[in-house]
């Protein structure tokens, strides 16, 4: 009989790894995890407007990248990764 539903997760993670330590702390409620949202923007002229909209809603831009396919015409996609929330729980 499984007493603690989280126990298999505890056993599966390596307690010595950085990811394992964050997961253990999150499961125990010691760390509040951040929310993440990736947004695809079609045209480069919309990038600034998208960033402004998300910042008004409380999100922070974490990273930006773009990728493109140039055959037969250039198709470039812009990707914005936003984060929200605190890394450490305040006492």
Determine the Cα–Cα distance for residues 87 and 25; give it in Å rounded to an integer: 11
Q: What is the mean pLDDT of residues 17-21?
A: 64
Residues 13 and 38 in one domain: no
Determine the Cα–Cα distance for residues 54 and 60; give it in Å rounded to an integer: 7
**Could you give the 3-state DSSP secondary structure of residue 54?**
helix
pLDDT at position 43 is 87
17: domain range?
1-31
Radius of gyration over every alpha carbon of the chain, rounded to an integer in angstroms: 19
User: Looking at the 3D structure of the chain, how many domains does it have?
Assistant: 2
- Six-digit token string for 90: 């305040």
Residues 11 and 37 in one domain: no
Quickly tell me which residue has 């396919």 as its tokens: 69
Q: What is the pTM of this model?
A: 0.60
Residues 40 and 65 in one domain: yes
- Chain segment 49-84, per-residue pLDDT in tens: 999 999 999 999 999 998 887 777 778 889 999 998
Residues 79 and 49 in one domain: yes
């Amino acid at each position: 009989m499984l007493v603690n539903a989280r126990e298999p997760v505890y056993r599966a993670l390596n307690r010595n790894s950085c990811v394992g330590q964050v997961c253990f702390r999150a499961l125990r409620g010691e760390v509040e995890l951040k929310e993440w949202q990736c947004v695809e923007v079609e045209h480069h002229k919309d990038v600034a407007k998208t960033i402004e909209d998300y910042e008004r809603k409380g999100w922070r831009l974490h990273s930006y990248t773009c990728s493109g396919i140039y055959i037969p015409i250039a198709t470039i996609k812009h990707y914005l990764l936003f984060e929200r929330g605190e890394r450490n729980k305040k006492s």
